[in-house]
Structure 1
Amino acid sequence: MSIFSNIKEALKQQLPFVAYRKPNTSLLKGWFQQNATLITSENYSESGFIFAPFDSREKAILIPENQSTYFEEEISIDSILSNNNTKHTPDTSSEKNHIQLVEKGIQAIENNQFKKVVLSRKEKVELPEFNLIETFQKLLNSYPTAFVYIWYHPKVGLWLGATPETLVSIQGTTFTTMSLAGTQVYNGTTNVSWQPKEIEEQQFVTDYITDKLSNYCSEITTSDTETIRAGNLLHLRTIINGALKTDNATLINSLHPTPAVCGLPLEASREFILNTENYHRNFYTGFLGELNINSKKSNLFVNLRCMEVENNTVNIYVGGGITRDSNPIKEWQETVAKTTTMKKVL
């Protein structure tokens, strides 16, 4: 029985599951929980697949290894994808609200409340016909370098995504994480120029992570900053490695939420987001992935480029980093570019 068949059966039986493919691989993995119990993580010491919200004060949901059936299979899905020429128009009704939100963020930065804040919005797309399996397959095909997943719990909801950002990978006493910031549209090459705003934003994120990890880790090293592609978008990325001097939970809590999804300083920007965005991010900009699997390995990813499915309505979540030099209209256009990427698979 293929993982796609297991997905259909789990949905029919209303049982929790997750199926996913890691970046740059063709191995599709799936965890299918044998009961419908809602299980939460206490301190990230459990084994299984974790799905954590943006607000770290809310509980992270666990599909536990010891209560689930595991499958994996090599996949090649190019040949079974159908063409879809449906056009989805931009949600212009959100434009005024998002521009005003960005203007508030810039004003708060100018008032020295914080240096950076990441502001987001949710866009609803109505779909008279929605094929969940085909949409998941299109995500797998469209994002070979991303962590692509479908996640379901009958007491929580149904989510899909394709994220380019690692929160952290832990193996033994060593870890790897990244700073990711800056966005521009991919136009056939990764050899592009970046504006001072994006370069500054990227350095903010890198400095914050390395400074914070210095309290818990040793031998911290950073790579050169590089341009990477995620679908039709480009980002700046720096890889950060180090050795642990503490437990996994302390490391995870110190990294989440990152400045790439929240801001700097963390507490001030998070409170601004919770008080000003006027909607609940839920699992958008949270994290997800394997927790303490196979000799205590963890591979966790930030939940970006994601969508929540409610019957024939899809909620697409997008945002961007705001600094003193941000242009509200360009920030709106960046979110449109990100929703366009996701809409292509719908």
Structure 2
Amino acid sequence: MKNDTLLFTNDFSESGFVFAPFDSEQKAILFPLENSEFITEKLFLDAFIDQEKTFFADEAAKENHIKLVDKTIKEIKKNDLKKVVVSRTEQLEITDFSLLAVYQKLLQNYTNAFVYVWFHPKVGLWLGATPETLLEIENSVFTTMSLAGTQLYKDTVDVVWKSKELNEQQLVTDFIENQLSGISSQLKIDKTETARAGSLLHLKTKVTGVLNQKSTLKTLVSALHPTPAVCGMPREKAKKFILENEYYKRSFYTGFLGEINIKSLKFKTQSSSLFVNLRCMNINKNNASIFIGGGITKDSNAAKEWEETVSKSNVMKRVL
């Protein structure tokens, strides 16, 4: 940006880069294309060994998260909720923070992710490496994905998934298919596969289609965000539960970011690429806020859900 004015997109018809919060009722920040400068730099990644480190869990945080998960499970069982994604945040004091070094570690550890650094003087510094595409669209042809389930990567992607993760993944896929069926055609749902993201594995299903002529990028974004992978089902009830019961405000965690309406004169196309803001952190002076969560269903176990968030938080802590 050429100045520090905070701008927002009105209807996703502009060209530029957007940074959107989890709460879809709030506006997405826009870096307009005409106000931006593009700088290209070659980064030479030093060999970085992801060393095993010991991190100690906060007992109060553990107790709070287990209480939240138990409350969520009870709410699901007595309600028509099928899934709710609940999350927490950890505060980590950092010394000798080097933005470039952390960015390089993220690039090296997450070769299949969208790795970013985002800063605005009126909002702050965010960075992360997200394995989840919200959508990619070129002219009217789009690609999205459902992503759910987590387990540690242990030298192979040939793993067995339990029914809880498989059912959770199917819920996300079914939601996406239902949301897109009325605004697109030629929907194709690929076979579900195991995808690696750093030291974690997830279930991933690719979905492609063609946006109808009467539909817009805003229509498509509204249909998908927030997905059940970061919110739950039914979406509005799950979102209401999250906003009322989590111990903090998500802000831009589980929102989305990326380029919109970038034109290519050479290929006569217009494309947008948006990514769900997962595996991210917010840096404020000598403090890093790390965000982690997991999908809760009626079959969830609170203690195991806590351990999953610990695994996810350790992944991000290792790059600091």
* Cα distance change, pair 133–335 in 1 and its aligned pair in 2 (3 A): same
Match of 1:305 among 271, 279, 283: 279
Answer yes or no: is the 8 Å Cα contact 2:50–2:318 preserved in 1: no
Q: What do you get for the CA RMSD once the two structures are aligned?
A: 1.4
Q: How much has 1:84 moved relative to structure 2? A: 7.4
Alpha-carbon distance in structure 2 between the residues aligned to 1:211 and 1:82: 43
Letter in 2 for 1:231: G
Q: How much has 1:91 moved relative to structure 2? A: 3.0
Q: Tell me whether 70-79 or 288-297 shows the greater mean CA deviation.
A: 70-79
Alpha-carbon distance in structure 1 between the residues aligned to 2:241 and 2:7: 30
- Equivalent residue, structure 2, for 1:344: 318
Identity score, percent: 53
Q: How much has 1:89 moved relative to structure 2? A: 2.5
Q: How much has 1:76 moved relative to structure 2? A: 3.1
Match of 1:150 among 112, 117, 140: 117
SS of 1:291's partner is: strand
- Equivalent residue, structure 2, for 1:75: 43
Q: How much has 1:165 moved relative to structure 2? A: 0.2
1:186 aligns with 2:160: no
Q: How much has 1:58 moved relative to structure 2? A: 1.0
Answer yes or no: is the 8 Å Cα contact 1:113–1:268 preserved in 2: no
Answer yes or no: is the 8 Å Cα contact 1:50–1:288 preserved in 2: yes
Letter in 2 for 1:219: Q
Answer yes or no: is the 8 Å Cα contact 1:190–1:229 preserved in 2: yes
* Cα distance change, pair 74–253 in 1 and its aligned pair in 2 (3 A): same
- Equivalent residue, structure 2, for 1:34: 2
Q: How much has 1:278 moved relative to structure 2? A: 2.5
* Cα distance change, pair 160–44 in 1 and its aligned pair in 2 (3 A): same
1:330 aligns with 2:304: yes
> Aligned runs of 1:30-179 on 2, under 5 Å?
33-79=1-47, 87-179=54-146
- Equivalent residue, structure 2, for 1:202: 169
Alpha-carbon distance in structure 2 between the residues aligned to 1:97 and 1:83: 30
SS of 2:195's partner is: strand
Q: How much has 1:296 moved relative to structure 2? A: 2.2
Q: How much has 1:131 moved relative to structure 2? A: 1.5
Structure 1 unaligned regions, length at least 5: 1-32
Relative contact order, higher structure (CA 8 A, sep 6+) = 2
- Equivalent residue, structure 2, for 1:266: 235
Cα deviation 1:71-114 (Å, max 9, x = unaligned) = 234433135x5887865433333000000000011001101241
Letter in 2 for 1:57: E
- Equivalent residue, structure 2, for 1:284: 253
Letter in 1 for 2:74: Q
SS of 1:158's partner is: strand
* Cα distance change, pair 323–128 in 1 and its aligned pair in 2 (3 A): same
Letter in 2 for 1:101: L
Question: What is the count of residue pairs matched by the alignment?
Answer: 313
Relative to the length of structure 2, the TM-score reads 0.95
- Equivalent residue, structure 1, for 2:266: none
Cα deviation 1:145-190 (Å, max 9, x = unaligned) = 0000000000001000000000000101110000000000111100
Alpha-carbon distance in structure 1 between the residues aligned to 2:17 and 2:274: 9
Alpha-carbon distance in structure 2 between the residues aligned to 1:83 and 1:172: 40
Structure 2 unaligned regions, length at least 5: 264-268
SS of 1:118's partner is: strand
Letter in 2 for 1:207: D
- Equivalent residue, structure 2, for 1:220: 187
Alpha-carbon distance in structure 2 between the residues aligned to 1:147 and 1:202: 21
* Cα distance change, pair 328–85 in 1 and its aligned pair in 2 (3 A): closer
SS of 2:97's partner is: coil
Alpha-carbon distance in structure 1 between the residues aligned to 2:44 and 2:220: 36
Alpha-carbon distance in structure 1 between the residues aligned to 2:279 and 2:142: 24
The list of structure 1 runs, each at least 4 consecutive aligned residues, that deviate by more than 6 angstroms after superposition, is 82-86
Alpha-carbon distance in structure 2 between the residues aligned to 1:65 and 1:230: 30
Alpha-carbon distance in structure 2 between the residues aligned to 1:311 and 1:237: 36
Alpha-carbon distance in structure 1 between the residues aligned to 2:29 and 2:138: 22
Relative to the length of structure 1, the TM-score reads 0.88
* Cα distance change, pair 156–199 in 1 and its aligned pair in 2 (3 A): same
SS of 1:71's partner is: coil
Cα deviation 1:250-301 (Å, max 9, x = unaligned) = 0011100000000000000000000000210000000001111123210000
SS of 2:38's partner is: strand
SS of 2:111's partner is: coil
- Equivalent residue, structure 2, for 1:30: none
Alpha-carbon distance in structure 2 between the residues aligned to 1:317 and 1:78: 27
- Equivalent residue, structure 2, for 1:10: none
